[in-house]
Amino acid sequence: IAGITQAPTSQILAAGRRMTLRCTQDMRHNAMYWYRQDLGLGLRLIHYSNTAGTTGKGEVPDGYSVSRANTDDFPLTLASAVPSQTSVYFCASSGTAGTGTDTQYFGPGTRLTVL
Amino acid sequence: GQNIDQPTEMTATEGAIVQINCTYQTSGFNGLFWYQQHAGEAPTFLSYNVLDGLEEKGRFSSFLSRSKGYSYLLLKELQMKDSASYLCAVRDADYKLSFGAGTTVTVRA
């Protein structure tokens, strides 16, 4: 059982380049999330999807886009990377959002450096 | 929005007890979670409270007081492997999580 996988594990990217971070879960969870984690700031929600075909903006969505074509995959795209997007990115998934025990489970993370 | 506060760092001795406090101010409350995160790894779920009171899970317990906007995570019989960051997260009315910055616990021999 893989749970949630993310790719790549780490990446160094030149500013201005486009980058897609991949996230796949095999738990048949309806809801998926993207967070960034920066020192001293904790995890901040970028985008989320309550179910396949729908997406929503989190706390820090600017510069990022997502899509949810199917239940398993939830890619995050940086259209034109900037140094302030240097961070560790975590994907998470949970059961149906809005239920009482939809605990979020996290992938291993992608460490992104934008130069 | 959410405002979540927890101490930055705590140090304790192996075998001891440590209590990590978390206070929050929220526009809507739908439960409080604690996660453990070892350096360089993903957060892993520890506990969930939605009603006032104590939830116990082995060496870890979590307490919630909704009227005071307060929770704590209690770690008993500390082991070296408990050295990690502990994240307090509040779920809002839209079922989204807001995280505190985390408390780094260092366990010394």
Residues in chain A within 8 Å Cβ distance of B45: 103-105
What confidence score (pLDDT) does residue A96 get?
A: 72
Q: Which residues of B touch A42 (CB under 8 A)?
A: 4, 87, 99-102
pLDDT digits (tens, 9 = 90+) for B14-49: 999 999 999 999 888 999 999 999 999 999 999 999
CB-CB under 8 Å, B43 with A45: no
Q: How far is B26 from chain A (nearest CA, A)?
A: 15
Residues in chain A closer than 8 A to B31 (CB atoms):
100
Q: What is the pLDDT of residue B88?
A: 97
Distance from the B65 Cα atom to the nearest Cα atom in chain A, whole angstroms: 18
Alpha-carbon gap, residue A34 to A4, rounded angstroms: 12
Task: Tell if the CB–CB gap between B31 and A100 is shorter than 8 Å.
Answer: yes
| Identity of residue B3 | N
State chain B's mean pLDDT as an integer: 95
Query: How many residues make up chain B in this entry?
Result: 109
CA-to-CA distance for A95 and A101, rounded, in angstroms? 8
pLDDT per residue of chain A (115 residues) written in tens, 0 to 9 = 569 999 999 999 999 999 999 999 999 999 999 999 998 888 999 999 999 999 999 999 999 999 999 999 999 999 999 999 999 999 999 987 666 658 899 999 999 999 9
- CB spacing of A42 vs B100 below 8 angstroms: yes
- Measure the CA dihedral B12/B13/B15/B19, to 10°: -10
- What span, in angstroms and rounded, lies between the C-alpha atoms of A81 and A85? 7
Chain B interface includes A55 (CB < 8 A): no
Residues of B within 8 A of A105 (CB-CB) are 45
Instruction: Compute the distance between CA of residue A100 and CA of residue A104 in angstroms, rounded to an integer.
Output: 12
Among B14, B9, B11, smallest CA distance to B76 is for B14
Nearest one of B84, B85, B88, B91 to B100, comparing CA atoms:
B88
Report the C-alpha gap between B71 and B87 in whole angstroms: 12
Which of A42, A98, A108 lies nearest to residue B99, judging by beta carbons?
A42
Tokens of A77: 């795209």
